[in-house]
Amino acid sequence: MSDTTEKKPAPRRRRSRIFGLAIVVTVAVQTPLVAGLAHLGGHLLPVLALAAALTGGFMATVLGPRGIWGAPSRARLYLVLWPFFVWWTLGLLFAGLAPIALAVRALLSTMHTSPASALSTNAALGYALVAGLAGTVLALRNSPRVRRHEIAIPGLPAAFDGFRVAQISDLHCGPFASGARVDRWVAAVNRLQADLVAVTGDLIASGPAFVPVVAASLGKLRARDGVFASMGNHDYFTDGEEMVGALEGAGLTLLRNRGVQVRRDGAAIFVAGVDDTWTRRHDLDKALAGRPPEMPVVLLAHDPVLFPDAASRGVDLTLSGHTHGGQIGVPFLAKRFNLARVMTRFTTGLYRSGPSTLYVNRGLGSTGLPVRIFVPAEIALLTLRRADRPKAAAARSAA
Protein backbone atom coordinates (compact mmCIF):
# COMPACT_ATOMS: atom_id res chain seq x y z
CA MET A 1 0.00 0.00 0.00
CA SER A 2 1.41 3.39 -0.94
CA ASP A 3 1.75 6.02 1.77
CA THR A 4 -0.49 8.94 0.78
CA THR A 5 0.10 10.90 3.99
CA GLU A 6 1.19 14.42 3.15
CA LYS A 7 4.50 15.26 4.71
CA LYS A 8 4.87 18.63 6.31
CA PRO A 9 7.82 20.70 5.13
CA ALA A 10 10.73 20.98 7.51
CA PRO A 11 10.88 24.16 9.66
CA ARG A 12 13.87 25.45 7.69
CA ARG A 13 11.99 24.91 4.44
CA ARG A 14 8.92 26.74 5.79
CA ARG A 15 11.07 29.66 6.93
CA SER A 16 12.67 29.81 3.47
CA ARG A 17 9.24 29.98 1.86
CA ILE A 18 8.11 32.75 4.19
CA PHE A 19 11.31 34.68 3.62
CA GLY A 20 10.99 34.24 -0.14
CA LEU A 21 7.42 35.49 -0.05
CA ALA A 22 8.51 38.49 2.05
CA ILE A 23 11.14 39.40 -0.56
CA VAL A 24 8.59 39.14 -3.39
CA VAL A 25 6.10 41.37 -1.52
CA THR A 26 8.81 43.87 -0.57
CA VAL A 27 9.96 44.23 -4.17
CA ALA A 28 6.45 44.25 -5.64
CA VAL A 29 5.28 47.07 -3.36
CA GLN A 30 8.22 49.26 -4.44
CA THR A 31 7.92 48.67 -8.17
CA PRO A 32 5.19 51.27 -8.93
CA LEU A 33 6.99 53.90 -6.87
CA VAL A 34 10.29 53.23 -8.65
CA ALA A 35 8.57 53.45 -12.04
CA GLY A 36 6.68 56.62 -11.06
CA LEU A 37 9.75 58.43 -9.73
CA ALA A 38 11.77 57.38 -12.77
CA HIS A 39 9.06 58.80 -15.04
CA LEU A 40 8.94 62.07 -13.09
CA GLY A 41 12.71 62.46 -12.90
CA GLY A 42 13.58 61.03 -16.27
CA HIS A 43 16.21 58.64 -14.86
CA LEU A 44 15.73 55.05 -13.67
CA LEU A 45 19.16 54.10 -12.31
CA PRO A 46 19.30 56.59 -9.39
CA VAL A 47 15.86 55.49 -8.21
CA LEU A 48 16.84 51.81 -8.49
CA ALA A 49 20.03 52.49 -6.52
CA LEU A 50 18.05 54.19 -3.75
CA ALA A 51 15.55 51.32 -3.57
CA ALA A 52 18.33 48.74 -3.52
CA ALA A 53 20.23 50.55 -0.76
CA LEU A 54 17.17 50.95 1.48
CA THR A 55 15.97 47.37 0.94
CA GLY A 56 19.45 45.91 1.34
CA GLY A 57 19.97 47.67 4.65
CA PHE A 58 16.62 46.45 5.91
CA MET A 59 17.24 42.85 4.84
CA ALA A 60 20.68 42.89 6.46
CA THR A 61 19.02 43.87 9.75
CA VAL A 62 16.30 41.22 9.42
CA LEU A 63 18.90 38.51 8.76
CA GLY A 64 21.22 39.76 11.49
CA PRO A 65 21.62 37.99 14.83
CA ARG A 66 19.07 40.24 16.57
CA GLY A 67 16.58 40.59 13.73
CA ILE A 68 14.13 43.47 13.45
CA TRP A 69 12.78 42.97 17.00
CA GLY A 70 16.15 43.17 18.72
CA ALA A 71 17.80 46.32 20.00
CA PRO A 72 19.44 47.94 16.96
CA SER A 73 21.86 50.80 17.45
CA ARG A 74 20.49 54.32 17.14
CA ALA A 75 22.47 54.73 13.92
CA ARG A 76 20.90 51.63 12.34
CA LEU A 77 17.47 52.55 13.70
CA TYR A 78 17.40 56.09 12.29
CA LEU A 79 19.68 55.74 9.25
CA VAL A 80 18.57 52.32 7.99
CA LEU A 81 15.28 51.07 9.41
CA TRP A 82 13.14 54.20 9.60
CA PRO A 83 14.14 55.40 6.08
CA PHE A 84 13.11 51.98 4.72
CA PHE A 85 9.78 52.10 6.57
CA VAL A 86 9.05 55.53 5.11
CA TRP A 87 10.03 54.36 1.63
CA TRP A 88 8.03 51.11 1.83
CA THR A 89 4.90 52.81 3.19
CA LEU A 90 5.10 55.46 0.50
CA GLY A 91 5.46 52.67 -2.06
CA LEU A 92 2.39 50.85 -0.78
CA LEU A 93 0.23 53.99 -0.80
CA PHE A 94 1.54 55.12 -4.18
CA ALA A 95 0.71 51.69 -5.62
CA GLY A 96 -2.93 52.31 -4.69
CA LEU A 97 -3.08 56.02 -5.52
CA ALA A 98 -1.25 56.12 -8.85
CA PRO A 99 -3.80 54.01 -10.79
CA ILE A 100 -6.59 56.21 -9.42
CA ALA A 101 -4.73 59.38 -10.46
CA LEU A 102 -4.02 57.99 -13.93
CA ALA A 103 -7.66 56.90 -14.31
CA VAL A 104 -8.79 60.44 -13.43
CA ARG A 105 -6.29 61.80 -15.95
CA ALA A 106 -7.71 59.52 -18.66
CA LEU A 107 -11.27 60.55 -17.79
CA LEU A 108 -10.42 64.25 -17.88
CA SER A 109 -8.62 63.81 -21.21
CA THR A 110 -11.81 62.49 -22.79
CA MET A 111 -13.71 65.54 -21.49
CA HIS A 112 -11.38 68.17 -23.00
CA THR A 113 -10.88 68.88 -26.67
CA SER A 114 -7.74 70.94 -26.02
CA PRO A 115 -4.65 68.91 -25.03
CA ALA A 116 -3.36 71.88 -23.04
CA SER A 117 -6.33 71.74 -20.70
CA ALA A 118 -5.97 68.01 -19.95
CA LEU A 119 -4.12 66.68 -16.91
CA SER A 120 -0.63 65.47 -17.82
CA THR A 121 0.77 62.11 -16.75
CA ASN A 122 3.47 63.85 -14.70
CA ALA A 123 0.85 65.96 -12.92
CA ALA A 124 -1.26 62.88 -12.11
CA LEU A 125 1.76 61.03 -10.73
CA GLY A 126 2.78 64.12 -8.80
CA TYR A 127 -0.61 64.36 -7.10
CA ALA A 128 -0.43 60.66 -6.22
CA LEU A 129 3.04 61.15 -4.76
CA VAL A 130 1.98 64.11 -2.60
CA ALA A 131 -1.07 62.25 -1.34
CA GLY A 132 1.12 59.22 -0.63
CA LEU A 133 3.56 61.33 1.38
CA ALA A 134 0.72 62.74 3.47
CA GLY A 135 -0.62 59.24 4.07
CA THR A 136 2.85 58.02 5.02
CA VAL A 137 3.15 60.66 7.72
CA LEU A 138 -0.21 59.63 9.18
CA ALA A 139 0.62 55.91 8.95
CA LEU A 140 3.90 56.29 10.82
CA ARG A 141 2.66 58.74 13.46
CA ASN A 142 0.15 56.18 14.75
CA SER A 143 -1.58 58.37 17.35
CA PRO A 144 -4.13 56.27 19.26
CA ARG A 145 -7.83 57.10 19.28
CA VAL A 146 -10.17 56.55 22.20
CA ARG A 147 -13.09 54.36 21.16
CA ARG A 148 -16.13 54.35 23.43
CA HIS A 149 -18.80 51.65 23.54
CA GLU A 150 -21.59 50.59 25.87
CA ILE A 151 -21.83 46.87 26.58
CA ALA A 152 -25.14 45.35 27.76
CA ILE A 153 -24.63 42.56 30.29
CA PRO A 154 -27.54 40.43 31.57
CA GLY A 155 -27.77 40.27 35.34
CA LEU A 156 -25.25 43.05 35.89
CA PRO A 157 -25.66 44.31 39.47
CA ALA A 158 -26.98 47.85 39.82
CA ALA A 159 -23.74 48.84 41.56
CA PHE A 160 -21.86 48.11 38.30
CA ASP A 161 -24.25 49.87 35.93
CA GLY A 162 -22.01 52.51 34.32
CA PHE A 163 -18.81 50.68 35.36
CA ARG A 164 -16.06 51.77 32.95
CA VAL A 165 -13.31 49.46 31.70
CA ALA A 166 -10.34 50.90 29.83
CA GLN A 167 -8.63 48.32 27.62
CA ILE A 168 -5.21 48.53 25.99
CA SER A 169 -3.45 45.78 24.09
CA ASP A 170 -0.46 44.87 21.94
CA LEU A 171 1.94 47.58 23.04
CA HIS A 172 4.95 45.70 21.59
CA CYS A 173 7.37 47.81 23.59
CA GLY A 174 10.68 47.63 21.76
CA PRO A 175 12.78 49.54 19.24
CA PHE A 176 9.69 51.13 17.64
CA ALA A 177 7.70 51.70 20.84
CA SER A 178 10.01 53.16 23.47
CA GLY A 179 9.35 53.50 27.18
CA ALA A 180 8.63 57.20 26.65
CA ARG A 181 5.98 56.34 24.08
CA VAL A 182 4.37 53.77 26.40
CA ASP A 183 4.37 56.43 29.13
CA ARG A 184 2.31 58.70 26.87
CA TRP A 185 -0.17 55.89 26.26
CA VAL A 186 -0.41 55.23 30.00
CA ALA A 187 -1.03 58.92 30.67
CA ALA A 188 -3.84 58.91 28.09
CA VAL A 189 -5.47 55.92 29.82
CA ASN A 190 -5.18 57.54 33.24
CA ARG A 191 -6.91 60.67 31.97
CA LEU A 192 -10.00 58.54 31.29
CA GLN A 193 -10.31 57.78 35.03
CA ALA A 194 -11.69 54.30 34.37
CA ASP A 195 -12.91 52.01 37.13
CA LEU A 196 -10.77 49.13 35.88
CA VAL A 197 -7.92 48.81 33.38
CA ALA A 198 -7.50 45.65 31.29
CA VAL A 199 -4.19 45.00 29.52
CA THR A 200 -4.60 42.14 27.08
CA GLY A 201 -1.13 40.93 26.19
CA ASP A 202 1.77 41.31 23.76
CA LEU A 203 3.45 43.91 25.91
CA ILE A 204 6.91 43.53 24.36
CA ALA A 205 8.21 42.90 20.87
CA SER A 206 10.84 40.31 21.75
CA GLY A 207 13.68 39.57 24.14
CA PRO A 208 14.41 40.62 27.73
CA ALA A 209 15.69 44.15 27.11
CA PHE A 210 12.29 45.86 27.24
CA VAL A 211 10.68 43.78 30.01
CA PRO A 212 11.68 46.21 32.81
CA VAL A 213 10.88 49.16 30.55
CA VAL A 214 7.28 48.17 29.86
CA ALA A 215 6.74 47.02 33.46
CA ALA A 216 7.87 50.39 34.80
CA SER A 217 5.54 52.22 32.43
CA LEU A 218 2.50 50.01 33.05
CA GLY A 219 3.10 50.30 36.78
CA LYS A 220 1.93 53.92 36.44
CA LEU A 221 -1.58 52.86 35.37
CA ARG A 222 -4.26 53.86 37.85
CA ALA A 223 -7.84 52.61 38.28
CA ARG A 224 -10.20 52.52 41.24
CA ASP A 225 -10.74 48.75 41.12
CA GLY A 226 -7.36 47.65 39.83
CA VAL A 227 -5.20 47.00 36.78
CA PHE A 228 -5.44 43.47 35.36
CA ALA A 229 -3.39 41.86 32.61
CA SER A 230 -3.20 38.67 30.57
CA MET A 231 -0.26 37.25 28.62
CA GLY A 232 0.12 37.24 24.84
CA ASN A 233 2.31 35.19 22.52
CA HIS A 234 5.02 37.86 22.27
CA ASP A 235 5.28 37.90 26.06
CA TYR A 236 6.82 34.43 25.72
CA PHE A 237 9.37 35.64 23.16
CA THR A 238 11.46 36.04 26.31
CA ASP A 239 11.42 34.40 29.74
CA GLY A 240 7.68 34.47 30.48
CA GLU A 241 8.15 34.03 34.21
CA GLU A 242 10.51 37.01 34.26
CA MET A 243 7.81 39.03 32.50
CA VAL A 244 5.19 37.96 35.04
CA GLY A 245 7.46 38.83 37.95
CA ALA A 246 8.22 42.28 36.54
CA LEU A 247 4.55 43.10 35.94
CA GLU A 248 3.40 41.87 39.32
CA GLY A 249 6.26 43.74 40.95
CA ALA A 250 4.99 46.90 39.24
CA GLY A 251 1.54 46.41 40.78
CA LEU A 252 -0.45 44.70 38.00
CA THR A 253 -2.65 41.68 38.70
CA LEU A 254 -1.73 38.91 36.23
CA LEU A 255 -4.60 36.57 35.36
CA ARG A 256 -3.12 33.33 34.05
CA ASN A 257 -5.98 30.85 33.86
CA ARG A 258 -7.62 32.26 36.95
CA GLY A 259 -10.18 34.85 38.00
CA VAL A 260 -10.94 37.20 40.87
CA GLN A 261 -14.03 38.94 42.15
CA VAL A 262 -14.21 42.71 41.88
CA ARG A 263 -16.60 43.98 44.54
CA ARG A 264 -18.58 47.19 44.84
CA ASP A 265 -21.35 48.09 47.32
CA GLY A 266 -21.91 44.47 48.30
CA ALA A 267 -22.12 43.24 44.68
CA ALA A 268 -19.44 41.65 42.49
CA ILE A 269 -18.39 40.75 38.96
CA PHE A 270 -15.87 38.05 38.04
CA VAL A 271 -12.76 39.19 36.14
CA ALA A 272 -10.84 36.27 34.63
CA GLY A 273 -7.92 35.80 32.29
CA VAL A 274 -6.48 33.01 30.16
CA ASP A 275 -2.85 32.41 29.27
CA ASP A 276 -1.34 32.33 25.79
CA THR A 277 -2.95 30.14 23.12
CA TRP A 278 0.09 29.93 20.80
CA THR A 279 2.17 28.13 23.41
CA ARG A 280 -0.91 26.13 24.53
CA ARG A 281 -0.83 27.50 28.05
CA HIS A 282 -4.48 28.55 27.97
CA ASP A 283 -7.10 26.77 30.09
CA LEU A 284 -10.52 28.40 29.90
CA ASP A 285 -12.17 25.95 32.28
CA LYS A 286 -9.55 26.64 34.93
CA ALA A 287 -9.88 30.38 34.43
CA LEU A 288 -13.63 30.22 35.07
CA ALA A 289 -13.52 27.56 37.80
CA GLY A 290 -13.87 30.06 40.66
CA ARG A 291 -16.84 31.90 39.16
CA PRO A 292 -19.92 31.87 41.43
CA PRO A 293 -23.13 30.86 39.64
CA GLU A 294 -24.86 33.65 37.71
CA MET A 295 -22.09 36.17 38.43
CA PRO A 296 -21.29 38.30 35.33
CA VAL A 297 -17.88 37.56 33.80
CA VAL A 298 -15.36 39.78 32.05
CA LEU A 299 -12.63 37.66 30.41
CA LEU A 300 -9.20 38.86 29.32
CA ALA A 301 -8.10 36.65 26.40
CA HIS A 302 -5.34 37.94 24.14
CA ASP A 303 -6.39 35.71 21.22
CA PRO A 304 -10.01 36.23 20.04
CA VAL A 305 -10.10 32.65 18.76
CA LEU A 306 -11.35 31.71 22.24
CA PHE A 307 -14.55 33.75 21.95
CA PRO A 308 -16.90 30.96 20.74
CA ASP A 309 -15.81 28.73 23.64
CA ALA A 310 -16.12 31.62 26.09
CA ALA A 311 -19.62 32.46 24.84
CA SER A 312 -20.69 28.84 25.20
CA ARG A 313 -19.56 28.97 28.84
CA GLY A 314 -21.63 32.07 29.57
CA VAL A 315 -18.86 34.66 29.54
CA ASP A 316 -20.55 38.04 29.19
CA LEU A 317 -17.68 40.13 27.83
CA THR A 318 -14.43 38.89 26.28
CA LEU A 319 -11.62 41.42 25.78
CA SER A 320 -9.03 40.47 23.15
CA GLY A 321 -6.30 41.93 20.98
CA HIS A 322 -3.68 40.05 18.94
CA THR A 323 -4.89 41.04 15.46
CA HIS A 324 -3.86 44.73 15.46
CA GLY A 325 -6.95 45.16 13.31
CA GLY A 326 -4.76 43.91 10.48
CA GLN A 327 -2.54 47.05 10.68
CA ILE A 328 -3.36 47.66 7.00
CA GLY A 329 -6.95 47.87 5.79
CA VAL A 330 -9.14 49.15 2.98
CA PRO A 331 -10.44 52.71 3.53
CA PHE A 332 -13.96 52.80 5.06
CA LEU A 333 -14.09 48.98 4.95
CA ALA A 334 -11.19 48.17 7.25
CA LYS A 335 -13.23 45.96 9.60
CA ARG A 336 -14.04 43.52 6.79
CA PHE A 337 -11.02 43.99 4.54
CA ASN A 338 -7.73 43.96 6.44
CA LEU A 339 -4.66 41.75 6.68
CA ALA A 340 -5.92 40.00 9.81
CA ARG A 341 -8.78 38.42 7.86
CA VAL A 342 -6.38 35.70 6.71
CA MET A 343 -6.00 34.72 10.38
CA THR A 344 -9.46 35.15 11.93
CA ARG A 345 -12.92 36.56 11.32
CA PHE A 346 -12.65 38.43 14.65
CA THR A 347 -10.38 41.24 13.47
CA THR A 348 -11.45 44.46 15.14
CA GLY A 349 -14.28 45.96 17.18
CA LEU A 350 -17.48 44.42 18.53
CA TYR A 351 -18.85 40.93 17.86
CA ARG A 352 -21.80 39.23 19.51
CA SER A 353 -22.98 35.68 20.05
CA GLY A 354 -26.36 35.72 21.78
CA PRO A 355 -25.90 37.78 24.97
CA SER A 356 -22.11 37.40 24.89
CA THR A 357 -19.93 40.19 23.52
CA LEU A 358 -16.38 40.20 22.18
CA TYR A 359 -14.31 43.34 21.82
CA VAL A 360 -11.15 43.04 19.72
CA ASN A 361 -8.81 45.93 20.43
CA ARG A 362 -6.65 47.15 17.54
CA GLY A 363 -3.77 47.65 19.93
CA LEU A 364 -1.29 50.47 20.40
CA GLY A 365 1.93 49.13 18.93
CA SER A 366 2.75 47.12 15.83
CA THR A 367 4.65 44.07 14.72
CA GLY A 368 6.83 43.67 11.68
CA LEU A 369 6.77 47.11 10.08
CA PRO A 370 5.71 49.93 12.46
CA VAL A 371 2.98 51.00 10.06
CA ARG A 372 -0.80 51.37 10.34
CA ILE A 373 -2.76 52.27 7.24
CA PHE A 374 -6.49 52.99 7.74
CA VAL A 375 -6.30 50.96 10.97
CA PRO A 376 -5.39 53.47 13.71
CA ALA A 377 -4.16 52.45 17.14
CA GLU A 378 -6.72 52.62 19.91
CA ILE A 379 -7.57 52.80 23.57
CA ALA A 380 -11.00 51.30 24.28
CA LEU A 381 -13.32 52.65 26.96
CA LEU A 382 -16.18 50.21 27.55
CA THR A 383 -19.10 51.15 29.78
CA LEU A 384 -21.04 48.21 31.27
CA ARG A 385 -24.83 48.51 31.28
CA ARG A 386 -27.54 46.34 32.80
CA ALA A 387 -29.54 44.22 30.36
CA ASP A 388 -32.90 42.58 30.85
CA ARG A 389 -32.16 38.97 31.86
CA PRO A 390 -35.27 37.33 30.27
CA LYS A 391 -34.54 38.99 26.91
CA ALA A 392 -30.90 37.99 27.17
CA ALA A 393 -31.87 34.38 27.95
CA ALA A 394 -34.15 34.34 24.91
CA ALA A 395 -31.32 35.71 22.73
CA ARG A 396 -28.98 32.99 24.06
CA SER A 397 -31.57 30.30 23.25
CA ALA A 398 -32.11 31.65 19.74
CA ALA A 399 -28.34 31.76 19.14
Residue 4 located in a structural domain: no
Q: What pLDDT does residue 394 have?
A: 44
Q: Are residues 253 and 119 in the same domain?
A: no
Q: Specify the length of the chain in residues.
A: 399
Label residue 368 by pLDDT band (50, 70, 90). confident
Query: How many domains, in total, are found in the chain?
Result: 2
User: Which of residues 109, 141, 173 is at a domain's end?
Assistant: 141
Q: Are residues 157 and 113 in the same domain?
A: no
Q: Are residues 225 and 82 in the same domain?
A: no
Q: What is the separation of C-alpha 289 from the centre of its chain, rounded to a whole number of angstroms?
A: 30
More confident site: 339 or 111: 339
- Please check whether residue 167 is in contact with residue 382, taking contact to mean a CB–CB distance below 8 angstroms: yes
Instruction: Return mean pLDDT, the chain.
Output: 90
Question: What are 156-211's pLDDT values in tens digits?
Answer: 999 999 999 999 999 999 999 999 999 999 999 999 999 999 999 999 999 999 99
Q: Are residues 111 and 186 in the same domain?
A: no
**Sheet architecture: strand order including 349-353:** 258-264, 267-273, 297-300, 317-320, 356-360, 349-353
Label residue 225 by pLDDT band (50, 70, 90). very high
Q: What pLDDT does residue 25 have?
A: 83
- Please check whether residue 225 is in contact with residue 255, taking contact to mean a CB–CB distance below 8 angstroms: no
- Please check whether residue 245 is in contact with residue 211, taking contact to mean a CB–CB distance below 8 angstroms: no
Q: Are residues 228 and 360 in the same domain?
A: yes
Angle, vertex CA 73, rays to CA 67 and CA 207, nearest 5: 45
Cα–Cα distance list, 323 to 364, 372, 378 (Å): 11, 12, 13
Residue 350 located in a structural domain: yes
Q: Are residues 82 and 192 in the same domain?
A: no
Label residue 227 by pLDDT band (50, 70, 90). very high
- CATH code of the domain in which 285 resides: 3.60.21.10
Cα–Cα distance list, 21 to 24, 26, 31, 302 (Å): 5, 9, 15, 27
Cα–Cα distance list, 378 to 221, 230, 240, 284, 305 (Å): 16, 18, 25, 26, 20
Question: What are 107-137's pLDDT values in tens digits?
Answer: 888 876 556 556 789 999 999 999 999 999 9
- Please check whether residue 184 is in contact with residue 218, taking contact to mean a CB–CB distance below 8 angstroms: no
Q: What pLDDT does residue 393 have?
A: 45
Residue 5 located in a structural domain: no
Residue 2 located in a structural domain: no
Q: Are residues 115 and 163 in the same domain?
A: no
Averaged pLDDT for residues 46-74: 83
Q: What pLDDT does residue 23 have?
A: 78
